[in-house]
């Protein structure tokens, strides 16, 4: 019988967390507010609820918030499509796959940040030194995630395609175990996993998404909620609070890292590294034409690879009414 080697302590908490949460919604809680309206919000552990609470933005709500926790963007968007969630946060690629499936989703807000946390990692002892060295190697990635596109784009920049590598579609907890046990040669992933591996000294960065991917993340709403005037007003207020909370993060990085570490079970040094590398770099930006064009390129790429059924017109999945006076989506990250 093959002996299973335990994950290093610094890598264990989040892996266990996501294993426990595997599937769709792991739990739901309610934030009390005034009034009879309830806004159903999809979240990920240590995500929107945690940052809003830490920044003091859950006070004086004129509506209640029911939070449902998901492991990643794709299952969250399934809930948006089903009408179980009114709005939720995802990365740049899940909306493309949802749109390709004809899901009822609408991008209503965006943030632009550094892509340094989106990385292809290799073990410390690996002989791989550049993206071109990945030819013929096995790479773990979560299908439909932002890392999925980052992998495609990084390979393309090196003159390779997915056909040149052995792709292992694994969710983060399983990918982490495969990576640390040497069952895959590389792992395409995002923060905080990038910071987990680096801070634990269990791997190094082969390449990042900087200059390769668009660095966008989104709030995605259900069209039915956007047709309800009262819910639309609540969504506008919720987005304003999220934008203020993100500004708070940029000026309170250590405070947010402590909260985030406690909420997720991550070691504080991992949380702080991820905050500095990724979270504190984000700026709220407009849902504008350059953003639509950038997402369209992602959609076209996956359509060409036949990973989504056919041509997607991403412009049909956005709502610009919440832009206000936000800067262009091409605004540099902090």
Separation between Cα atoms, residue 89 and residue 67, nearest integer Å: 12
Separation between Cα atoms, residue 279 and residue 221, nearest integer Å: 22
Token output for 108 = 């209503």
Residues of the chain with pLDDT under 70: 1-28, 32
Q: What is the DSSP string of 257-322?
A: HHHHHHHH---HHHHHHHHHHTGGG-EEE---HHHHHHHHHHHHHHHHTTSSSS---GGGGB--TT
Contacts of 38 (CB under 8 A, 6+ apart): 30, 63, 64, 65, 66
Separation between Cα atoms, residue 5 and residue 161, nearest integer Å: 33
Q: Return the DSSP state at 109.
A: E
The reported pLDDT for the residue numbered 28 is: 66
The reported pLDDT for the residue numbered 35 is: 79
Residue 169's SS3 state is strand
The reported pLDDT for the residue numbered 26 is: 53
Residue with token string 């919720």: 238
The domains located in the chain, with CATH, are: 24-113+215-317 (3.40.190.10), 119-208 (3.40.190.10)
The reported pLDDT for the residue numbered 34 is: 76
Q: Give the residue among 53, 37, 19, 22 at the shortest CA–CA distance from 244.
A: 53
The reported pLDDT for the residue numbered 154 is: 96
* Residue 196 CA to its chain's centroid (Å): 16
The reported pLDDT for the residue numbered 189 is: 94
pTM of the model: 0.87
The reported pLDDT for the residue numbered 21 is: 31
The reported pLDDT for the residue numbered 263 is: 86
The reported pLDDT for the residue numbered 31 is: 77
């Amino acid at each position: 019988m093959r002996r299973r080697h335990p994950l290093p302590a610094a890598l264990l908490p989040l892996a266990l967390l996501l294993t426990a949460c595997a599937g769709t919604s792991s739990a739901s809680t309610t934030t009390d507010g005034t009034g009879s309206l309830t806004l159903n919000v999809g979240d990920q552990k240590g995500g929107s609820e945690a940052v809003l609470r830490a920044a003091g933005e859950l006070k004086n709500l004129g509506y209640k918030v029911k939070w449902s926790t998901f492991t990643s963007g794709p299952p969250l968007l399934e809930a948006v499509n089903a009408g179980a969630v009114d709005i939720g946060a995802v990365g740049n690629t899940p909306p493309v796959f949802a749109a390709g499936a004809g899901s009822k989703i609408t991008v209503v807000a965006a943030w632009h940040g550094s892509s340094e946390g989106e990385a292809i990692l290799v073990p410390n002892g690996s002989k791989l030194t550049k993206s071109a060295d990945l030819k013929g190697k096995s790479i773990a990635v979560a299908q439909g995630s932002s890392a999925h596109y980052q992998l495609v784009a990084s390979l393309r920049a090196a003159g390779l395609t997915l056909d040149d590598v052995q792709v292992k579609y694994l969710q983060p907890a399983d990918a982490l175990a495969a990576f640390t046990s040497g069952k895959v040669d590389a792992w395409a992933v995002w923060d905080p996993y990038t910071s987990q591996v680096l801070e634990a000294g269990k791997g190094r960065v082969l390449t990042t998404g900087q200059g390769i991917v668009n660095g966008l993340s989104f709030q995605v709403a259900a069209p039915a909620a956007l047709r309800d005037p009262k819910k639309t007003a609540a969504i506008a207020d919720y987005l304003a609070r999220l934008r203020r909370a993100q500004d708070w993060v940029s000026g309170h990085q250590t405070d947010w890292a402590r909260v985030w570490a406690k909420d997720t079970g991550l070691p504080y040094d991992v949380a702080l590294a991820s905050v500095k590398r990724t979270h504190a770099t984000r700026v709220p930006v407009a849902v504008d034409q350059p953003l639509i064009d950038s997402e369209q390129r992602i959609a076209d790429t996956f359509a060409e690879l036949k990973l989504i059924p056919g041509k997607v017109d991403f412009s049909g999945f956005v709502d610009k009414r919440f832009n206000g006076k936000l800067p262009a989506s091409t605004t540099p990250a902090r």
